[in-house]
Chains A and B, each alone.
Chain A
Amino acid sequence: MNFKIHIEKERCKGCGYCINACLQAVLKMSKALNLKGNHFPEVEKSDACTGCRRCASMCPDTAIKISKVYSESDNKTSAEKK
């Protein structure tokens, strides 16, 4: 099982709290700018994410959502787990 970080970059103001909060260095600041002219986080090491939610809990602008991703090799589907 993996986790997917969804970043709504146009909500981001570039504070960097999420990058600072992540213990796994999953996120890094973009070189690109969003429409407001802010750098925003990008997922660099998706596999390292533990789904701890530390990044999202620090976001003042609710720009981060997180989902679980089950691959074909996971022996149980999410439906079976519930």
Chain B
Amino acid sequence: MIKDMIYDRPESLTDVKTHYCPGCGHGIVHTLIAETIDSLKIRERTIGVAPVGCSVLAYFYMNFDVTEAAHGRTPSVATGIKRVLPDRIVFSYQGDGDLAAIGMAETIHTANRGENITVVFINNAVYGMTGGQMAPTSLIGQKTATSPRGRNVETMGPPLRMCELLNSLDKPYHIERVAIDGPDGVRKARKALMTAFKAQVDGKGYSFVEILSPCPIYQRLSPVDALKFVGTQMAAYFPVGVFRKEGTVVNA
């Protein structure tokens, strides 16, 4: 009997068990990033910047250098690292509270400068770490700790579509949205991350990948129903697809 592994844990992940809740999208995306870094053979020159949010401990799980930034400042710290060490592959990893609320200014200015970094944006439509408060990306009518009767557009504004917003800027090179609502979505997410990291390796400039992601606990659903929420309700408001390809706007 001869055995060959056809699926194994990527080298770019440590074997530390994560603190994430059952079914959390962060775990899936960590694996996808690690697989991308393994296939590009850049593990020894990659530096990640972890956010404040549930993924604050990402450096325990990723088997390469990862630093930490103040809430929302991840792209600025990534900019600094990339400018000082231009041969490193630098990415920021951010939740929706980190990227689209407290870090909105840093997000926009980094994209506007077209920094040669990669931003991985986990949109789970809530603040996970702090107890399920409303995020800028919470859906209309979505019940959260701070919108107990559902998000009301009149008083709270509509959810922010970050890909569309960044697509109005001149400099980004690649902007794409995917949804990890099942194996097909995961495959597309892996491909999107590959495009984004490859762009940076080739020195093309700023790449942004938004990943619609399950947070079963604060989406208040079972894990499998949270996947359905991501693939139907979230994807209905946040259409998946490529918005910017090789520096050119795709969906105007």
Contact = CB atoms under 8 A, between A and B. Distances in A.
Interface of A: 3-4, 10-11, 13-17, 20-21, 38, 51, 53-54, 56-62, 64-72, 77-79
Interface in B3-24: 3-9, 13, 17-18, 20-24
Interface string B162-200: 000000000000000000001100110000000000000
Interface residues of B, number: 30
Contacts of B3: 4, 67-70
Contact of B5 (A11, A17, A59, A65): A65
19 contacts: A3-B6, A13-B23, A20-B224, A57-B183, A58-B183, A58-B186, A60-B22, A60-B27, A61-B17, A61-B18, A62-B27, A64-B7, A65-B5, A65-B8, A66-B6, A68-B6, A70-B1, A70-B2, A78-B2
B223 interface: yes
Given A16-B23, A60-B24, 8 more contacts: A13-B22, A15-B216, A17-B224, A21-B183, A38-B22, A57-B7, A60-B22, A66-B5
Nearest to B15: A62
Contact of B4 (A14, A53, A78): A78
Contacts of A58: 28, 182-183, 186
Interface of B: 1-9, 13, 17-18, 20-28, 31, 182-183, 186-187, 216, 223-224, 227
B7 A15 contact: no
Given A13-B22, A17-B223, A62-B31, A57 B186 contact: yes
A79 B23 CA distance: 38
B4 A68 contact: yes
Nearest to B226: A15
A62 B13 contact: yes
Contacts of B1: 69-72
Contacts of A16: 23, 223-224
Given A4-B3, A70-B1, A57 B187 contact: yes
Contacts of A59: 27-28, 31
